[in-house]
Structure 1
């Protein structure tokens, strides 16, 4: 099973095991990763699972589709590697994926 490393805004890192076929968001929620609220449950309707994909992994995770880009308009501090973690499907070749969770407003 692929490992995913989540790094929070303070630099604290946690590596969890992801299940092939699930999403990065589902993996974060299952493992209690802070900073991934996932209020809509993965329907690409809220932007509360916003992450920054590490530069080294950006090509492998792909680019946001138009619906995801529209939702990212509601996210705080969007960057070139911003993605919604509910839209990143875990594949075996994502073993070692690194994503960062942004500093949350409020």
Structure 2
């Protein structure tokens, strides 16, 4: 298991144990973490699972593939370095301690 911390835009923290092989998005969805909508179900066809990765994790994650990079163009307030789609981050034991922060939703 890997402990992932999801931080809502208002600072509310959710520390969840996520099984390796799942995605960070599936961990949030399966545990009722608000703010990660995952409208496409993890197909990298929307940007509703967009988060900002904690700075210390940016270089520890696999690089974005071109599809994820393109889809991030549609995210609300993307950051060129820290933005990721949680549906594209596979959980491994090496991700234990990962912290992601959700952007404030555009209304």
TM value normalised by structure 1 = 0.97
- Pairing 1:38-77 to 2, within 5 Å after superposition: 38-77=38-77
Query: 1:1-106 counterparts in 2 under 5 A?
Result: 1-79=1-79, 80-106=81-107
SS at match of 2:63: coil
Let me know the Cα RMSD of the aligned residues. 0.7
Shift of 1:19: 0.7
Q: What is the deviation of 1:59? A: 1.3
C-alpha separation in 2, matches of 1:63 and 1:51: 15
The runs of at least 4 consecutive aligned structure 1 residues that moved more than 4 Å come to none
Structure 2: tracts of 5 or more residues without a match: none
Partners of 2:36 and 2:94 in 1: how far apart? 23
Q: Distance in 1 between matches of 2:41 and 2:25?
A: 9
